[in-house]
Structure 1
């Protein structure tokens, strides 16, 4: 009986052994969880610092699409790459960089549109008029009057507000122009000489004949006035 009683107290300490064996497992689990939390926190912090969670900037296509919707919403037409607006619905030409609209070029008679050289402005800022330039044809024009023994001898000078290309074209085609002028002169009669506007009308006919020939040869006339610097009939 005494041995049995002694054996009973010895068994009680043995029952605490399983409880003590669980503590290392719990510590290992806590350590693993803490390690996972640290690693996850480090990864999240790294991604946040590097901007992983920031909203990516819109692409160029998205910006163009947004601009297109914005322009259509207000009914306005977008500007081109140089900032210039297109022509309006009525076909009006846009103004240039200085706010001036381009002018339509016309010949001396004011009818047919031409694409000739630009007109020369006077350098004076107080005058918007164009600069007149003159060119004297070198040789005289000599022709008989129609059905008459009289002879007409003239010298002419032409005037233009365009640049020197008009005069260059006149010198270039001088032979053809002289022939055209002589054709006009030979149609003059004795009756024409007594008309009050004879010389004025003759100058207009010569101008139109020269411009017509230059437009045929150079696509532009440019002669605005013809002046007689010498006029003799005998």
Structure 2
């Protein structure tokens, strides 16, 4: 008589090696596909990678050793004597130390074409001035001034319209006018280009009538 299987005997265990191999292989395949897609996407320009040391392309201070001597108009009557980098430091919050024997950074000058004429505030007199600006930064600041000279002229005239008789007849008053004009010019440059850079304004002509 043939033996019958024992109903109480435990069922034999099934090997799970094949399924385990498949489950492990799937994530590896997905990882490989994702990595390949990322590499392809970067090559195709899908992603924009910014270098860690990337920074805004702002004008840079020019060391005195790199100064280019030119015949541009210099300071006229009432020149503001604070030093290029000192005013730039105050305007932009950047450390610009001063070395012995003068400014550490070069100054580039640019005379604005045509003189400015404006009535004085609460007065029958008017003032006519010619001005030049200086900057310790590279040529990009002067290029910005040339590009936006029409807007700058408009703002300078508005600033001159705030001038009183007391200011035009004293040296201290003229320095106040210079500071006001420098602020006006830097305001236009910051609005248009995001960076001022003008340290001083000089008078090349100053007439009150």
Report the TM-score, using the length of structure 2 for normalisation.
0.53
Higher CA-based Rg: 1
| Separation (CA, whole Å) in 2 of partners of 1:115 and 1:144 | 40
| Separation (CA, whole Å) in 2 of partners of 1:201 and 1:115 | 32
The answer on 1:141 being equivalent to 2:105 is no
The answer on 1:130 being equivalent to 2:130 is no
SS, match of residue 170 in structure 1: helix
Once the two structures are TM-superposed, the CA of residue 156 in structure 1 deviates from its matched residue by 0.6
Once the two structures are TM-superposed, the CA of residue 193 in structure 1 deviates from its matched residue by 3.0
| Separation (CA, whole Å) in 2 of partners of 1:221 and 1:140 | 22
Partner of 1:227: 202
1:63-106 Cα offsets, whole Å, 9 max, x none, are xxxxxxxxxxxxxxxxxxxxxxxxxxxxxxxxx9xxxxxxxxxx
Partner of 1:70: none
Contact 2:117 2:127 in 1 (8 A): yes
The answer on 1:121 being equivalent to 2:63 is yes
Once the two structures are TM-superposed, the CA of residue 191 in structure 1 deviates from its matched residue by 3.0
Contact 2:130 2:206 in 1 (8 A): yes
Once the two structures are TM-superposed, the CA of residue 195 in structure 1 deviates from its matched residue by 4.3
Any unmatched runs of 5+ in structure 1?
1-95, 97-113
**RMSD between aligned residues:** 2.4
User: Larger RCO: Structure 1 or Structure 2 (Cα < 8 Å, ≥ 6 residues apart)?
Assistant: 2
- Aligned length, in residue pairs: 121
Once the two structures are TM-superposed, the CA of residue 115 in structure 1 deviates from its matched residue by 6.1
